[in-house]
Every structure is written in C-alpha cells, then in structure tokens.
Amino acid sequence: MKFALQPPLLFNLTTLNGIPSLFFVRSAGKSECRICRGIQIRTTSHLPHISARNNFLFYKINKNLLYRKQHFSQMVAESILSLSTTQNGEERKKSYVHGAASKNPLLYSTIGERLRLAASLFPTREFVLFKRDGVRKTYKDVLEDSERLATGLIHLGMEKGDRIGIWSPNKYEWITTQFASALAGFILVNINPMYHADDLCYAVEQVGIKTLICPPAFKRSQYYNTLRELIPELEDAPPGDGRISTDTFPKLRNLIVFKMGNGTEAGIDENGNEDGRYNGAWDYNHVLNMGTVEDRRRLAQNEANVQPDDQANIQYTSGTTGKPKGATLTHHNIVNNAYFVGLRAGYHEKRAIICIPNPLYHCFGCVMGSLAALVHFNTCVFPAPSFEPLAALEAIHEERCTAVYGTPTMFIDMLGHEEYPSFDYSSIHSGIVAGAPCPVTLCSRLVNELGMKNLQVCYGTTETSPVSFMSICDDPPEERIRNVGHIMDHLEAAVVDADGKIVPRGQRGDLLIRGYSLMYGYWDNEEATRAVIGKDRWYRSGDIGVMNENGTVSIVGRYKDMIIRGGENIYPTEVEQFIDKHPAVADVQVIGVPDERFGEVVCAWIRLKNGATLTESDIREYCAGKIAHYKVPKYILFKDIADFPLTVTGKVKKFEMREISKRELKLENVKSHFNDTGM
C-alpha cells in the first residue's frame, strides 16, 4: 500500500521477510520520521529514544533519502494499519476520529520536573507577570519561591498526597501554591474564589483539605470573615498561629492568609490588627521562612518519589445531583494536555507572551495557561485578580502580548469597552476562545479587528484535563470559527446514539472521549465516576455533537441541563436546592435562557406555597451573598402547578420551559452562544 501524506514525502507499508516494515522517501535534504512526525531528521541523524523503544534501523541511500524501519512492534504496525483504514476506508464514514498517535510522543514527566527544566534552561526569562500588583517573576524566581513554600508547608506537617486548597483570585500566591504542591507531591485543590460558605464547606470536607490558603478579602468575597463564621475557634485563637483543630472541618490543620496588596502591608489590616496578622491564621510570608535543613531534605525526598501518574490536582465540576464533584487529575494528564495545546497553538515555534484574564482556579487558566506556558518556556500575563476588560486591554498594549485567552463573554466586554480603540494590538497574532460556544460574528471580529489571524477554538471538559478538540491554524479562518476543531493528538472521539452505536458522520449523538487525558476519577465518588466512564474507558461528555466530514466536531447542545453563563458552569439543581429552602417556596425549576452578553443566564420558575407572597426582589435578596452572584436568577417567573410542562411520568420538560420562557420574556430573537454558531 502507498499513501501520500505530506508531499513530496511518501511511505510504503510492506513486509520484509514476513515482518512489517516502513520505507520513507523524500527528495529534500532532510526528512521526517513518520513515527515521530514533526521531528526533523538530517541524513546522518539517529533517534536513540525511538531506536531503544521500537528497534528502528535507518539507512541512507544516495542523494534521495530512504529510511527503512525493521522489526517494529506489532502494536506500532497495527496503529499504522488502523490509521490507513480510518483515513481512507469505510471507517471514514463513521463518527470516529483519533489523533496522531506518534507525531509527538507523550511526555512522561511531572510538573516539578518541567519547572526545574525551564528554570535551568531559561533562568532569567519572565514566566509570570501580575500587572495589577507589579509582580514580575522569572522561571528561577518561581522555582525558588515554590521551594520555599513547599518546605514551609512540610514544616507544618504536610505530607505527600495531602490535599491543599487555594481559595483565591489570580494572585502570584496561586502560582507558588500550584508549583509548591507539584514539587512536594501534595494534591492541589482549586476552589472557586466566588464560592460562599455552603460551597466552601462541601469542598473542604469532601476531599479532606489539610491546609487552606486564601487572602483576607477581595471585592464582595470576605474569605477570612466567612471562615471565622464557620470556625468559631478562630475568634479566640492567637494572631499569626494557623494551627487548626475544629469539629467543623476535622481534617483541616492549617490556615494560611496572604495579603492582597491593597494597603494591608502598611501594618493595619481590614480588621484593625496592627501587625496585619489574623487570629488562627499563619501569615504567608512567615510560612515561606519556616523551612529548615531537615524540611529541605524531606522536600527532595518527596520530589524524588513523585511519579507522573500520581494525582496532582482536584478541580471541581458538578453534575445533575447538584453537588460539586472533584475531578482528580494526574501530572501525566495535565502536563501532556498543556503540552499538546501549546504545540497546536505554535508556542514551540516562537516565544509567546500570553494574556490570561481567565481565573486560575479554572482549567483554562491553570492548565491551558500557566502549565502550557511552562512546558513551552513562554510568558503569562495576568492583567488583574479578576476579569476587568480595561485591565486586559492595557496589559495587551503595555506587554506587547502575542496571544490572548478568553471566554466569549470576556471578548465581548473587551471589544465593547469605550477605551478599546485607544490601544495598540499589533503584537497579537493568535488567541484561544473557549469555555462556551463562540458566536461566529464574535470570532470574525477577533480575527479582523483584534488581529487574531491564528484564532483557535477549543472544546473540552474538566474531566478530560481539559482540551479534547482544538482548531488547527492551517484550516481556513471561516472553518476554524464554525466548529471546535480537530481531535487532539493521542486522543479518540466518537459520536454515538442512545444504544452506544457510532453514528454516521453528519448525525447528532452523544460525544465520547478516550485517551491519556481522561481523569483519574471523581474524588471519593466511584458511583459518579462509573456513571461517566465505562469499562471501555470512554468518557460520556453529555454534550450533543456532530462529526463533520473532515473529522471536526460541532457542539450543538447538551444532554445535561448545565447553564454556561459567561464561561461559568451553573448546574440548575444547585440553584433549585438552595431556593427550595425558602419557607414560602413550594417548587422551583431552573433553566438557562439566551443572553447576548453572557450567552445564557439563569431563569427560575417558582411555585409558591398556598397563601404565600413573594416578589422577584425577595428571591434575589434571599440568594445574595449565600450563593455565587452568577447563580442568582436574572429572570424569575412565578407559576401555578398547572403551568409546569410534565412528561407522562411526571418529570418536568425543561426544554419546553425554555421555549415558554423565551416567548414570555421576549427573548426569541436574542443572539446567544447557542443560536449564533453558524450552524
């Protein structure tokens, strides 16, 4: 068999003495190995890592190159044969694709190893910039600061495998906690900085957080005061001593507070403590200086024992039960996903300066952002602790950013800001939009106005580390903005019907993902894990996808009722369960309705108890400060029991509720992320 893959390169699949063999021919002065596509081989090159693993033999024949590979493993042979049938045979008609299994090998390293490599190769290169705080840190700085924090945490009793929670907006302390955890073998737990008491309690208890790090307050979030209400022992605890022993959180042993750079360094904090210390909390800077020689020895021992397949990160997602689930990811999961996102974005070809207004607690920020920059030795710019359109525009202008990340809502707000025309965006040539479906009109503006000629769209879930599909820059711009791109290397995807059978391309079905990026599982929740990951290791995304003829995928809806408001995932059951606690509420159902700015917003149908009276303002006041602000319903419709559309089995038909709400609220013509996708 002969296949033209990359002119003028051809390869022949044949046999030599009954053993499958490959022949590579190219008339140029150098060639590409078809097993390690993308790695350039000069005529005298040898590939020791491939030779050792698969017994390759390479030969040079006159001026043309002829490389022969003999005795390669049956696994590799079957992979190549499978590739040929998928690309050229009947399999092409099915809604199944797999990424190149050998273009670039998977990395087998830990996050800590990648940080040490970057610090050794580029010690003085800037790694992270936090513009609002004036913080600029090189790779060497980040490594040293992370080591200091790790040794301090070990001094406080943290051991390999312990969970450490970071409850914070985008601050440099988030980065040092991320990498200190990786070096020492702790498991980092990302806590949404907008969580209120109920969500925080569940997160801390569910995974057994041993150390919690947070600032005292930020905007409407009063972190320390919330903890003081939850942990009565803090009131009488000595300032600056963060040893915790409380029945509220039996496994919590340490509380660490860092200052936000909002004037507390002057010596008086928000609560009037003259030295800026908090009752029952360690000062972050004090922890940095706690480590002893013995602690440093133990850090080295921990680091030597950390393996790529160890659990590294717990990122919270939610499900139809309404309770958050801790998607547990390994070093191998997220190092490789970051690596392949960066490869497809071209970060390996030219140094990138990436503007990241996205929150670090989200996988968009901490995997596609800081880790993707790390593994490709690039620079991250964080404009402000939380998203501010003007701060992002200023950061792009002042730091000459070459790439910009954002959700559709973020980009809408940036392009719509009154000072948008005042800045220079000529440095931008690429960007990634993800987190929610992006309207075609917005993508066009990003390409034509903001200069993102290499704009890419990503699709993924927290459970897949996160990216499974991503645009390829070689595709025409109009193609890139109409779907979520091509399957990532080393991953598989399929679209199946209700019986689990793969559907023909062009038909809708349940999108499945399989491969290295699949999470370790939901923390301490085997039942929920089994519900989404079968014995065949396919992950059921719950999204409705259509696989196009060229193998790209378009997301056309969701089986789940999740609402995506500006990139924030909202699960109706969570909001329903909270509002249902109101003494005047008999029933509540929550749906998403279209919104031009956020894509979707929360709409609540509420049935009151007999004789009860409530207003929309009453409901919003009831929610304010108790659930995250983005979960508070924008629209509230009071209904009678007969108004709720039901199935014959008594289940509420939310899709009908959605259509009724759109009519009543006059939202039929609103262009949102889901009705302006160019489909």
Phi, psi of 166 (to 5 degrees): -120, 115
The number of CA neighbours under 13 Å toward the Cβ of 575 is: 30
**pLDDT at residue 487 tops 90:** yes
Phi, psi of 570 (to 5 degrees): -125, 125
* pLDDT, mean of residues 192-218: 96
* pLDDT, mean of residues 44-67: 30
Helices (H), 60-171: 74-88, 111-121, 139-155
Give the chain's domains with CATH numbers: 2-91 (no CATH), 140-306 (3.40.50.980), 324-558 (3.40.50.12780), 563-664 (3.30.300.30)
**pLDDT one-digit tens code per residue, 87-136:** 455 667 899 999 987 679 999 999 999 999 999 999 999 999 999 999 99
Residues 254/212, Cβ–Cβ less than 8 Å: yes
| Residue 69: C-alpha distances to residues 23, 36, 593 (Å) | 7, 13, 57
**pLDDT at residue 62 tops 90:** no
Task: Please tell me the pTM assigned to this model.
Answer: 0.77
**pLDDT at residue 449 tops 70:** yes
Integer Cα distance of 424 and 316 in angstroms: 37
| pLDDT confidence bin for 482, thresholds 50/70/90 | confident
Count of C-beta atoms within a 10 Å radius of residue 530: 12
In angstroms, what is the C-alpha Rg of the chain?
Answer: 26
* pLDDT, mean of residues 365-392: 98
Residues in the chain: 679
Instruction: Provide the residue type at 72 as one letter.
Output: F
> Would you tell me the crossing angle of helices 197-207 and 223-230 to the nearest 10 degrees?
70
Between 263 and 588, the higher pLDDT residue? 588
> H or E element: which one contains 129?
strand 126-130
Share of the chain above pLDDT 70, in %: 81
Residues 6+ apart with CB under 8 A from 457: 432, 433, 434, 438, 443, 470, 471, 480, 481, 483, 484, 485
**pLDDT one-digit tens code per residue, 420-436:** 999 999 999 999 999 87
Residues 592/435, Cβ–Cβ less than 8 Å: no
**pLDDT one-digit tens code per residue, 170-183:** 999 999 999 999 99
| pLDDT confidence bin for 571, thresholds 50/70/90 | confident
Residues 319/461, Cβ–Cβ less than 8 Å: no
* pLDDT, mean of residues 188-216: 96
Integer Cα distance of 526 and 529 in angstroms: 5
Integer Cα distance of 257 and 212 in angstroms: 9
| Residue 574: C-alpha distances to residues 91, 562, 599 (Å) | 41, 10, 20
The per-residue DSSP string of 343-355 comes to: HHHTTTTS--EEE
| 3-state secondary structure at position 2 | strand
**pLDDT at residue 40 tops 70:** no
> Would you tell me the crossing angle of helices 111-121 and 172-184 to the nearest 10 degrees?
110
Helices (H), 436-554: 440-448, 477-480, 526-532
Residues 504/512, Cβ–Cβ less than 8 Å: no
**pLDDT one-digit tens code per residue, 524-568:** 999 999 999 999 999 999 988 999 999 999 987 677 778 989 988
| Core vs surface per residue 595-619: b (16+ CB within 10 A) or e | beebbbbbbbbbbbeeeeebeeeeb
**pLDDT at residue 653 tops 90:** no
List the beta strands (DSSP E) in 596-662.
599-608, 635-638
